[in-house]
Amino acid sequence: MIVKLGGTLLLILLGLGLAGMMYEGYVRDLFLETPRDLSELISSGADPNKFLDPETMEPYSGPVFLTEIGALSTPQLKMSGTLEQGFWHGPWENYDEYGELIIHGTRNMGVACGPWIEAGLEKTYEPCPPGLEIDWSHIEPK
């Protein structure tokens, strides 16, 4: 009986360890996922664009960025955001050739929502779904 109980206890501990590793992987993937270069993805459709992983041809989900050669002949961040099922979803930012933030707002599956700053002017779209809208008040318009 002690052996069986010991084996059961061992199985429970192994199961908890496996669950812990699965949770750890989920948290790592959710919060620490390395952003992917948008130029590596395939764009399909129009307004809104849908971005596909070129290896699987499936819609891509995760953080992305785009760079271009800036005014000082060095790579500059041009765009950053997150894709969900291939569509822009969540905070979205666009930068000029000097690396200055010029447009920012939130997208809901590719569609602009909530308040935006575009070329220093505020613009408001339909409200974002609960939990998606970002407070941009800490960023001064340029």
Does residue 131 come out as left (phi exceeding 0), alpha (psi in the -120 to 50 range) or beta?
Answer: left
pLDDT of residue 15: 41
pLDDT in tens, 71-96: 778 888 999 999 999 999 999 999 98
Please state, as a whole number, how many other Cβ atoms lie within 10 Å of the Cβ of residue 108: 21
Averaged pLDDT score across all residues of the chain:
78
pLDDT digits (tens, 9 = 90+) for 112-125: 999 999 988 999 99
* d(C-alpha 137, C-alpha 105), whole Å: 11
Q: In sequence order, which residues have a C-beta less than 8 Å from that of residue 111 and are 6 or more positions away?
A: 48, 125
pLDDT at 31: 54
Amino acid symbol at 93: E
pTM check: above 0.85: no
